[in-house]
Amino acid sequence: MAVEHLNAGNFDSAVSSGIVVVDFWAEWCGPCRMLGPVFEELSGEMDTVKFAKVNITESQELAQKFSVMSIPTLVIFKEGQEVDRMMGAIPKGMLRNWIESKL
């Protein structure tokens, strides 16, 4: 499944149902660039989970709304509610295990 790019206009509807992992990131962030390919790979491997990204440079209001203080910040939403978050670039196996623990 392709990674969806979210902004203030489509965020609420995108996370309203199912399980959605959102990556809050920015182009200038080195760890974000390291995490990006891993995030893309998992989106193709985990078809019961939706993967989405929010560029905090373009959507600062979402970063503020969800109190994103450092990036990358990964937030898992279940039926529109935040259930967990993790900060920093992490290896693929750890990321998969973290997501699976919330299913």
Catalytic position from the list 29, 49, 62, 95: 29
Between the alpha carbon of residue 56 and those of residues 6, 7, 100, the distances in Å are 10, 9, 26
Catalytic position from the list 15, 21, 32, 71: 32
Query: Does the active-site annotation cover 32?
Result: yes
Ranges of H-type helices in 1-103: 11-15, 30-45, 60-65, 92-100
Cβ within 8 Å of residue 12, ≥6 positions away: 80
Active-site residue numbers?
29, 32
